[in-house]
């Protein structure tokens, strides 16, 4: 994979390791320059009417990167957890779903 995404050696997310998994995903993706894709801060470059070749390429590159990170993200999640993110329309939506799900579970466990 481009930019060393294949170098990651993170234990897959399961129901017991969210906080450690989250920490490692955040740090690894920040180091590789992909964190903004997960948080939604890296937005899709718009394709206006009659786009230039540069605009087309920027949009294409953005989509390629998001697909790569989404794939990488999906292989860092246990198979039984995929159901929670498989229909996500963006990396941010997938991330937010997991964070919300585990934040809720963590709060419930504390009580």
Domain range for 20 is 2-110
Q: For residue range 13-40, what is the model confidence (pLDDT) as tens digits? A: 988 999 999 999 999 999 999 999 999 9
Take residue 42 and report the two structure tokens written for it: 């890296």
* 111: confidence class by pLDDT, cuts 50, 70, 90: very low
Residue 72's pLDDT is: 86
Q: What is the pTM of this model?
A: 0.77
Flag whether pLDDT at 2 surpasses 50: no
Sequence-separated (6 or more) residues with CB below 8 Å from residue 19: 102, 106
Q: How many domains does the chain have?
A: 1
- Cβ of 28: how many Cβ atoms within 10 Å? 19
Residue 7's pLDDT is: 56
Of 61, 55, 67, 58, which Cα lies nearest the Cα of 91? 67
Q: What angle do CA 108, 101, 9 make, to 5 degrees?
A: 115
* 1: confidence class by pLDDT, cuts 50, 70, 90: very low
Interatomic CA distance for residues 101 and 62, integer angstroms: 28
Classify 40 in phi/psi space as left (phi over 0), alpha (psi -120 to 50) or beta: left
Q: Which residue has the higher pLDDT, 30 or 8?
A: 30
Take residue 57 and report the two structure tokens written for it: 């390429």
How large is the C-alpha radius of gyration of the chain? 16
């Amino acid at each position: 994979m481009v930019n060393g995404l294949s170098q990651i050696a993170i234990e897959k997310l399961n129901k017991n390791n969210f906080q450690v998994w989250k920490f490692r995903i955040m740090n690894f993706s920040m180091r590789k320059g992909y964190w903004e894709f997960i948080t939604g801060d890296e937005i899709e470059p718009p394709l206006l009417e009659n786009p230039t070749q540069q605009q087309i390429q920027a949009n294409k590159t953005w989509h390629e990167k998001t697909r790569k990170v989404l794939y990488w993200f999906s292989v860092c999640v246990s198979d039984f957890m995929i159901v929670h993110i498989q229909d996500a329309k963006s990396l941010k939506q997938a991330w937010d779903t997991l964070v919300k799900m585990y934040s809720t579970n963590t709060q419930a466990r504390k009580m």
